[in-house]
Amino acid sequence: MTPPAGIGCGWRPEIAGIVADLPGLGFVEVIAESLDPAGPVPPDLQALRDRGLPVVPHGIRLNLGSAQPVDPVRVAHFAACARLLGAPVASEHIAFVRAGDIEAGHLLPLPRSWAAVDAIVSNVHIVQSEMDTPLALEPIAAVFDWPDDELTEAQFLTEILDRTGALLLLDVANVYANARNRGADPAELLHRLPLDRIAYVHVAGGAEQDGLYHDTHTDPVPEAVLALVRALCALRRPPALMLERDGRYPPAAELRAELDAIAAAAGLPAVSG
C-alpha cells in the first residue's frame, strides 16, 4: 500500500470527472460514510485505484470525542472501508458529533482537558484494534474555546498522538481559522504542532462572517492559507497535501488552478499538466 504523496484532492461524485482528468494527481480521499463497505468501489473511484493512486477513507461520524465508547457498528464500517480500498492510511476527526441518538450535525470542539484526552485515547484504541491500517487524526476548526481548558491546542494534540501512536492529518486551513479567531499568529501555532507525525495535509477555503473566520470548504483557498502552506514546507515538508472541497464546486479550470496553487506553494509540480 503506497502512502499518499504529492498533491491530492478530495473525491466527490460531483467532481469525479474533473479529478479523473488530472494527470499529476498523487492521491485522493473519500468520505468513508459515503461508501458501502460490501463493495464494489464506485467505478470512477476504482478507475483511480487502477491508475495506482492511493485512496484514503476519511471518517466524519465516529465521534471520537464522546465520553461514551465509539459505536462498534460505525467502527466496523470504517475499518471495512479501509480494507475495501486497500488504504495506506485512514483518517478521522478529534471532535464530538453526537450524544446518545442526538446528532449535532457538525464537528464540535472538545474542552482541552485531561478527561477529554482520556476519552479520545480510549476511543482511538477501540478503532485501532479493529483496523489493519494506520489511523491519522485531524484537529478541527473551532470558533470558540471552552472556558476551562487545561492544555494548549498543541499540548492537547501531542498528548493524544503520543498515547495512541496515531499519525496527524494536519489541516492548515483549520490552523489558520483557529489562530485568527483567537487573535493569534497562525505561523506560531503551526510551529508548536507535532509536524513530525504528519501523514498528509488538508488545504481548504473559508470565509469571514460576523467577525469570525469559518472553514467552509465551499470557498476558494485564500492567499493567507497558501502562505501557511509555504510556512509549513519551510519548517518540515509534508509527504502529501490535498484540496478539500465540499460544495459550490467551481468550474474545472478554477479547480485545477486551485490545485496548482497548492502545488506551487509547496514547491511541487503542477497537477493539471
273 residues of the chain, pLDDT tens digit each: 789 999 999 999 999 999 999 999 999 999 999 999 998 999 999 999 999 999 999 999 999 999 999 999 999 999 999 999 999 999 999 998 977 776 666 788 999 999 999 999 999 999 999 999 999 999 998 877 888 889 999 999 999 999 999 999 999 999 999 999 988 999 999 999 999 999 999 999 999 888 888 889 999 999 999 999 999 999 999 999 999 999 899 999 999 999 999 999 999 999 998
Percentage of the chain exceeding pLDDT 90: 85
> What three-state secondary structure class fits 246?
coil
Amino acid sitting at position 37: P
The amino acid at 224: A
Amino acid at residue number 181: N
Whether 151 contacts 110, CB under 8 Å: no
The verdict on whether omega for the bond into residue 40 sits within 30 degrees of 0, i.e. cis, is yes
Asked whether the beta carbons of 32 and 265 are under 8 A apart, the reply is no
Q: Residues 105, 60: contact at Cβ < 8 Å?
A: no
**For residues 72 and 65, what is the distance between their CA atoms, to the nearest angstrom?**
15
For residue 152, the number of C-alpha atoms closer than 13 Å in the C-beta half-sphere is: 12
Q: What residues does each domain of the chain span?
A: 6-265
Of the candidates 123, 127, 116, 229, the one whose C-alpha atom is nearest the C-alpha of residue 171 is 229
- Do the beta carbons of residue 255 and residue 25 sit within 8 Å? no
> What whole-number distance in Å separates Cα of residue 173 and Cα of residue 232?
12
Q: Name the CATH topology of 6-265.
A: TIM Barrel (3.20.20)
**Tens of pLDDT along 1-42?**
789 999 999 999 999 999 999 999 999 999 999 999 998 999
Neighbours of 247 (CB within 10 A): 10
**Taking the CA atoms of the chain, what radius of gyration do you get in angstroms?**
18
Strand ranges inside 88-247, DSSP E: 90-94, 96-99, 102-108, 135-139, 167-171, 198-204, 207-209, 212-214, 240-244
pTM over 0.75: yes
CB 199 within 8 Å of CB 236: no
Angle of helix 153-164 versus helix 114-129 axis, rounded to 10 = 30
CA 196 to chain centre: 16
Joined together, the cell numbers standing for residue 139 give: 484537529
Q: Residue 210 corresponds to which cell in the numbers above?
A: 460576523
